[in-house]
Amino acid sequence: MRPEAAKAGAREVKHDAETGQDGLMRETRVSAASLREAIERSGYYPDLVADAAESALGKEPVTAFVVHHEATFDPAMEVRRHVTVVILSPTRLLVCHTDEHPPADGMPTSHASTTTEAVRLSRVQSVAVTRVVPDPAAYVPGVPPTEVTLTIGWGAISHVDLEPATCGDENCEADHGYTGAITADDLSLRVSEAADGPEAVSNVLAFAKALSEATARTAS
C-alpha cells in the first residue's frame, strides 16, 4: 500500500491531547498511515518492511508503534542493518524484524529476511523498562532519561543466569550446585538520546506505557 492510499483509508485510532514526559501538551495521532510514514523515514527497504507489517496487522487498527533501525557489524566487519517494527493493536502485539544478509551458498547476492510474530495481549507476561539518568541527584521530574531499554516477555524465549550456590559459610568448600534466575526476554529494544535522538527515547517510553495499560486491561 502506498502512503497516499494508506492515508486515504486510514482509521484514526487515537486523537487526544496528552502530556508528555517533558511536560508539554501534544496531539497524538496513531494510524496505519503514520506507521507507514515512520517506516518510510527509516529508509530501510520500506516497501518490504511495510508489506510484512501490514500483512501481520490485517484489518486491525494501530494503537501504538515503534520503528527501530539499527546497524551492526558482522564477523567480517561489514555493516549489516536491521529494523524492528513493534505494533500494538487492540488485541495483539505484533513484532516484525527484518535483517539483511551477505551472499551465501545458494544465494549469490545480498538478501533480506523478514520475520513477523503476532502475540495475543493476554500472553504478554512482562513489560520492563530500564531508564538511564545522568546525575540522578539533580534529576528533574518529567525530564526524559538519556537512554531506555524496553524488554517484553511473552514466554517464547527466556534466558537463564546461573552462578555457584553457597551456604553462607565463607570457609565451606562443599559443592552446593548452582542457583539462577530465568527471565523472559522475547524482545529487547535499546535507544539512546546520543545515538537515536530524544524523540526516539520518548517514543519508546510512550509505547511501553501504552502496552502496559493494554495488558492491564486484558488482565482485569
Quick check: 76 and 102 in contact, CB under 8 A?
yes
Instruction: Give the residue-averaged pLDDT of 162-186.
Output: 68
- Structural domain including 53 reads 3-219
Question: N- to C-terminal Cα distance for the chain?
Answer: 36
pLDDT per position as a tens digit, 135-168? 999 999 989 999 999 999 997 555 455 567 777 7
Best mean pLDDT range from 88-97, 99-108, 110-119, 162-171:
88-97
**Nearest 5°: phi and psi at 196?**
-115, -15
Instruction: Decide if pLDDT at 175 tops 80.
Output: no
Domains contained in the chain, number: 1
pLDDT for residue 176: 65
DSSP line for 106-163: TB-S-EEEEEEEEEEGGG--EEEEEEE-SSGGG--TTPPPSEEEEEEE-SS-EEEEEE
CA gap 176, 162 in Å, rounded: 13
